[in-house]
Structure 1
Amino acid sequence: MGVFTGRTALVTGASRGIGRGIAERLGRDGARVAVHYGRNEAAAKETVAAIEEAGGSAFTIGVELGRPGDAEALWEEFDRHADGLDILVNNAGIGTSAPFGEIDEEEYDRVFAVNVKAPHFITQQGASRLRDGGRVVNISSGLARNAVMPEKMAYAMTKAALDVFTRDLSKVLGPRGITVNTVAPGIVDTDVNADWLRAGDEARAGAAAISALGRVGTPGDVADVVAFLASEAGRWVTGSWVDATGGSLK
């Protein structure tokens, strides 16, 4: 039996990349996983299929975040499949890249709506469904503490806000035995980064050189950290910001 057998998990943005890696890891270890997606239903179904092929159980939830009523719609869909939650992973997010003087208000508002507002209200409305002793893991970014890409300033600001959310929420949910933590990945080999990571050996070598471990991260690297925090072994860790950059902040 897996360490999460009998538990239900929700992973937002789980149709691809880091979110898919987390969903598959939790499913492989016994959790029943709600695989959230925004637009790519086919990719979400692939995640579900991978979990089921490994002997796990999963279902999809399709709600586009960053719109009024998104949290309500997400939980309405969740309630059709499950009657409670043990693990919530706020992974869904969008990026933006523009020089300081060029980002416009519409883009700025959009990235904050998806990366900050959505996880806040998803968690707020999900708290009544989250069982005592549960887990909340927020996926941030090493860029929240490392100013190496100023063109991603707005994105980094959203992740810094998520880090504050983690610290304060840990105090709110702590009396119920619910832990709340942040995991901050560095450069990870996903389709979001595919264009430049796979542009050539020089680009990949440059990305790998940023890490103390000399390689680019994988979704599995991040998923393993999340799985620890979501497990009983992580019961005494809360309100923490966990560096999962492979040492790129050092």
Structure 2
Amino acid sequence: MTRPSSRTALITGGNRGLGRAAALALAADGTDVVLTYRGNADEATAVVGEVEALGRRAAALQLDTTVPGSFAAFAETLAATLQDVFGRETFDVLVNNAGYAGWTPFGEMTEEVLDELLAVHVKGPILLTELLAPSVADGGRIVFVSTGLTRFVANPAYSAYASAKGAIEVYTKYAAKALGARAITVNVLAPGATATDFAGGVIRDDEDYRAMISGLVAFGRIGEPDDIGGAVRAIASESAGWVTGQRIEASGGQAL
């Protein structure tokens, strides 16, 4: 098929936070967007409207990335959506963003929480990526979202979360090698402290906490969702085709 002029991106967890910021940044750059949401359809619908207001096409699909048994049905729904809404059989950009912060103080970790963190940050992204890879257009982009906590050690209560993200950083290199023959880049973006509802919104809402972290950042401030959205846009751009298998930190120089 002739590749259409407009690119299309799939963003998991695109209904809020960093996923929403990525969707809007890509849309502003001329990319159509399919976003997934786990449970809040109203948030997802609102983001679809925001993307459309930027002049791009958009769709929202329900997906729980902790349930791999649902992935095959999701892939079928995605294929139908690509055809019906975007007139395509493939898409160009996959952003594996869905996730959450698990609180695991040392000595208090439970098997249940550890399983949940591994499911959403390791098992789900890997299985979904390998299932959907044939539908990513040659020359496409795959972006995993990690965390700055894989480099700088903060509260030990984030140990399991950071470890799960560390696993996906290693997987990124192997996926980059596996997909290199198709000129598909695979990179991992590691945000620093960013003002979202992550971990209950403490970075966004607690002024004392923000001030403490800001003192550790070269830019002297906390990151905003748009900072990360811009980083996703840069990594996913067509001009970034010679960058693959890399961990790219977007932290404003945190803990240098």
TM-score, scaled to structure 2: 0.92
Pairwise mapping of residues 1-250 of structure 1 onto structure 2 (< 5 A)?
5-82=5-82, 83-193=89-199, 195-250=201-256
The one-letter code sitting in structure 2 at the alignment partner of 1:229 is I
Question: Judging changes above 3 Å, is the alpha-carbon distance between structure 1 residues 210 and 236 closer, same or farther for their aligned structure 2 residues?
Answer: same
Contact 2:101/2:199 (<8 A) preserved: no
Contact 2:195/2:201 (<8 A) preserved: no
Question: Judging changes above 3 Å, is the alpha-carbon distance between structure 1 residues 243 and 31 closer, same or farther for their aligned structure 2 residues?
Answer: same
Contact 1:88/1:137 (<8 A) preserved: yes
The residue matched to 1:14 in structure 2 has which SS?
coil
Q: Gapped runs of 5+ residues in structure 1?
A: none
Shift of residue 202, structure 1, vs aligned partner: 2.1
Q: In the TM superposition, what whole-angstrom CA distance separates every residue of 1:62-108 from its partner, at most 9, and x where no partner exists?
A: 01121241322331221121121110000111211121211110110
Question: Judging changes above 3 Å, is the alpha-carbon distance between structure 1 residues 110 and 241 closer, same or farther for their aligned structure 2 residues?
Answer: same
Distance (whole Å) between structure 2 residues aligned to residue 198 and residue 23 of structure 1: 20
The one-letter code sitting in structure 1 at the alignment partner of 2:62 is G
Distance (whole Å) between structure 2 residues aligned to residue 59 and residue 20 of structure 1: 13
Distance (whole Å) between structure 2 residues aligned to residue 208 and residue 129 of structure 1: 41
Shift of residue 144, structure 1, vs aligned partner: 1.1
The residue matched to 1:81 in structure 2 has which SS?
helix
Shift of residue 5, structure 1, vs aligned partner: 5.0
Other-structure match for 2:86: none
Shift of residue 219, structure 1, vs aligned partner: 1.2
Q: In the TM superposition, what whole-angstrom CA distance separates every residue of 1:125-158 from its partner, at most 9, and x where no partner exists?
A: 1111011100001110001122112111000011
Contact 1:5/1:31 (<8 A) preserved: no
The residue matched to 1:127 in structure 2 has which SS?
helix
Shift of residue 22, structure 1, vs aligned partner: 0.2
Q: Gapped runs of 5+ residues in structure 2?
A: 83-88
Contact 1:5/1:29 (<8 A) preserved: no
Contact 1:211/1:247 (<8 A) preserved: yes
The residue matched to 1:36 in structure 2 has which SS?
strand
Question: Judging changes above 3 Å, is the alpha-carbon distance between structure 1 residues 100 and 231 closer, same or farther for their aligned structure 2 residues?
Answer: same
Aligned CA-pair RMSD = 1.5
The one-letter code sitting in structure 1 at the alignment partner of 2:228 is V
Shift of residue 51, structure 1, vs aligned partner: 0.6
TM-score, scaled to structure 1: 0.94
The one-letter code sitting in structure 1 at the alignment partner of 2:41 is E
Shift of residue 35, structure 1, vs aligned partner: 0.9
Distance (whole Å) between structure 2 residues aligned to residue 207 and residue 5 of structure 1: 42
- Residues paired across the two proteins, number: 247
